[in-house]
């Protein structure tokens, strides 16, 4: 894919609630960063989807939006869904899950990093070094049950956890690939398989396939942890964690726990990556409790955009995009460490103030 790229297209899906608010902030930051870094321009085109659009049109994820996502070089996503807005059958509007399946975005990548300036949840000095990545398998696991569960005679209900060899192998290989890149930067790397192999056959199979994949990466350390033990480790010594890979539902739960360690959902970016397509979005939802008040912390959205730039840089051999990603991360670090503190963690900087400060920090950041 090497070559000179002058422009890349990004399908922008702002969605609902604070998704729209942090997306507007992010588009302003991306434009400012592009002006500083140079390199390929991003053509950022908005497309409708989500709960509000469903109310207006009767369609939560229009075919034209899916087609635009398919044709774009990357997808940038705010957040979607709203508590009272549901399909006639009572199910929630969660187009992000449909997009994961549509584009086979099997690897949910959730990096967790503590930035100086944020209040520390853990008093231990070593908590300054929190820097780990959770890889969540996103096409099967317990989420396979979505739309398939049943209640039998109003007496009992059952959901199915599905683990396949192919699904586990590709998520595990993705985690080891990530660990190889971290090893190049940090000297060593480890991948931990998180499961519940002592109780569930499906999870024992997940671990077995993980071990087979691990054997192909002898230079990367590999180990295992039960999900309950990992919940404890995440709180007791998260600085010791590196790369982790786990089943869909465990990943969903642990990534919210992990976000709490570094300030909250507004500090947790994520990427949904497949072999052809990738979608980048903050790990949080639409936050109805604070939506419309301008209080959202846009950092998770900013960091997700930086992940998008890194992914595009690699695929299109465009090192300027990597520079742009580092520029955005550095500007966030400068902003947080110089006393501009998001309301989410008790500061007084609202979304607009965080955005202004981060954009102002850009030129100084390289
Ligand atoms: P989802 O179902 O999409 O996972 P959720 O129900 O888990 O969503 P979120 O929307 O992620 O909920 O919000 C969880 C909590 O975190 C809420 O109290 C919300 O206000 C807060 N929160 C989430 N994102 C942010 C943000 N960017 N800035 C400030 N607070 C946030
Ligand atoms: Mg959640």
What's the chain's average pLDDT?
95
Find the mean pLDDT for residues 125-149.
94
pTM score: 0.95
45 forms beta bridges with: 11
Tens-place pLDDT, residues 99-118: 999 999 999 999 999 999 99
Find the mean pLDDT for residues 10-34.
98
- Say what the ipTM of the complex is: 0.95
Residue nearest to atom 21 of ligand 1 (CA): 287
| 33 has pLDDT over 90 | yes
Tens-place pLDDT, residues 311-320: 999 999 999 9
- Distance from the alpha carbon of residue 23 to the mean position of ligand 1, in angstroms: 15
77 forms beta bridges with: 13
Q: Which ligand is nearest to the CA of 297?
A: 1
Ligand 1 atom nearest residue 22's Cα: 27
- Distance from the alpha carbon of residue 16 to the mean position of ligand 2, in angstroms: 15
Q: What is the 3-state secondary structure (H, E, C) of the chain?
A: CCCCCCEEEEEEEEECCHHHHHHHHHHHHHHHHHHHHCCCEEEEEECCCCHHHHHHHCCCCCHHHHHHHHHCCEEEEEECCCCCCECCCCCECCHHHHHHHHCCCCEEEEEEECCCCCCCCCCCHHHHHCEEEEEEECCCEHHHHCCCCEEECCCEEECCCECCHHHHHHHHHHHHHHHHHHHHHHCCCEEEEEECCCCCHHHHHHHHHHHHHHCCCCCCEEEEEEHHHHHHHHHHCHHHCCEEEECHHHHHHHHHHHHHHCCCHHHCEEEEECCCCEEEEECCCCCCCCCCCCCCCCHHHHHHHHHHHHHHHHHCCCHHHHHHHHHHHHHHHHHHHCCCCEHHHCCCECHHHHHHHHHHHCHHHC
Cβ of residue 345 lying under 6 Å from some atom of ligand 1 = no
């Amino acid at each position: 894919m090497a070559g000179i790229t002058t422009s890349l297209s990004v399908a922008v899906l702002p969605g609902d609630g604070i998704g729209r608010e942090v997306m507007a902030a992010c588009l302003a930051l991306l434009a400012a960063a592009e002006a500083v870094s140079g390199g390929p321009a991003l053509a950022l085109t908005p497309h409708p989807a989500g709960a509000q659009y469903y109310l207006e049109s009767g369609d939560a994820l229009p075919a034209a939006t899916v087609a635009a996502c398919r044709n774009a070089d990357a997808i940038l996503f705010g957040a979607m869904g709203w508590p009272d807005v549901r399909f006639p059958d009572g199910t929630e509007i969660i187009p992000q899950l449909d997009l994961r399946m549509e584009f086979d975005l099997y690897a949910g990548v959730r990096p967790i990093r503590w930035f100086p300036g944020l209040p520390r949840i853990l008093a231990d000095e070593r908590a300054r070094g929190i820097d780990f990545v959770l890889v969540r398998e996103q096409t099967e696991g317990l989420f396979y049950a979505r739309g398939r569960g049943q209640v039998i005679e109003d007496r009992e209900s059952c959901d199915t956890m599905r683990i396949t060899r192919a699904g586990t192998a590709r998520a595990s290989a993705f985690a080891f690939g990530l660990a190889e890149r971290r090893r190049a930067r940090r000297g060593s790397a480890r991948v931990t398989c998180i499961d519940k192999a002592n109780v569930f056959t499906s999870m024992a199979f997940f671990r077995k396939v993980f071990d087979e994949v691990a054997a192909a990466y002898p230079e990367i350390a590999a180990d295992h942890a039960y999900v309950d033990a990992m919940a404890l480790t995440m709180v007791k010594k998260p600085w010791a964690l590196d790369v982790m890979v786990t089943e869909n539902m465990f990943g969903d739960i642990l990534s919210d726990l992990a976000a709490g360690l570094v300030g909250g959902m507004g500090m947790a970016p994520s990427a949904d990556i497949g072999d052809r397509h990738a979608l980048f979005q903050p790990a949080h939802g639409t936050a109805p409790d604070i939506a419309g008040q301008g209080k959202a912390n846009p950092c998770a959205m900013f960091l997700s955009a930086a992940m998008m730039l890194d992914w595009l840089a690699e695929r299109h051999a465009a090192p300027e995009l990597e520079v742009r990603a580092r520029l955005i991360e550095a500007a966030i670090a400068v902003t947080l460490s110089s006393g501009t503190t998001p309301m989410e963690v008790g500061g007084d900087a609202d979304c607009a103030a965080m955005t202004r400060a981060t954009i102002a920090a850009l030129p100084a950041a390289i």
